[in-house]
A = this chain, B = another copy of it.
């Protein structure tokens, strides 16, 4: 993608390598952001240059900040590592042998179904919200549009009535 074609192999000239790294890193980060926006994809990207400098991108929408327990983080971290390593068929014995944990099946089962339930509720609301905002309505039948229109109309009237009353107060 430049003046000349290059072979995909380690760039021996270190200056060149550094320059190419910067450019390509920016390119990848940009593309990561684009696919997130264009396609609703979640992306987690971490790049280390050969000098150890790190760049990263995580798509927004995340709530990991709320997970404050350090222990928890470490476990997740280990987990992530494990995923990466498994990708290359490596075994991570440390994790296997690591902390033994007693798990109480019932509570977990409850939590699991609760997560499912709340998530479903979430999905439905998200769809409703989208529709109210005029998104994703192309797939809808004419009939289905009517209640949406009515809801919007009613909402608008409500808000405007409220605004009008506030306005009176200010006069």
Interface residues of A (CB under 8 A from B): 6, 8-13, 17-18, 20-21, 24-25, 27-28, 31-35, 37-50, 52, 54, 56-58, 60, 62-67, 69-92, 94-96, 98-119, 121-122, 125-126, 128-129, 131-138, 140, 142, 145, 148-149, 151-160, 162-163, 166
| With A149-B160, A158-B137: A108-B106 Cβ-Cβ less than 8 Å | no
The verdict on A58 contacting B77 (CB below 8 Å), with A46-B43, A101-B103, A106-B101 known, is yes
Number of copies: 2
Identity of the chain B residue whose Cβ is nearest the Cβ of A28 in the assembled complex:
B31
B-side contacts of A75, CB under 8 Å? 73-74, 76-77, 102, 106
**Chain B min CB distance to A170 (Å):** 8
Inter-chain contacts of A25 with B (CB < 8 A) = 35, 41
A76 lies within 8 A of B82 (CB): yes
| A144 → chain B closest CB, angstroms | 10
Question: In the complex the two chains form, what is the Cα distance from A71 to B10 in whole Å?
Answer: 24
Other-chain residue from B47, B58, B102, B155 in contact with A80 (beta carbon distance below 8 A): B58
* A163 touching B142, Cβ below 8 Å: yes
B156 touches A153 (CB 8 A): yes
Q: Show 16 A/B contacts (Cβ-Cβ < 8 Å), sorted by A.
A: A9-B38, A20-B39, A21-B35, A39-B50, A64-B80, A66-B113, A75-B76, A77-B78, A78-B80, A78-B81, A82-B94, A98-B102, A111-B115, A129-B129, A133-B158, A152-B156
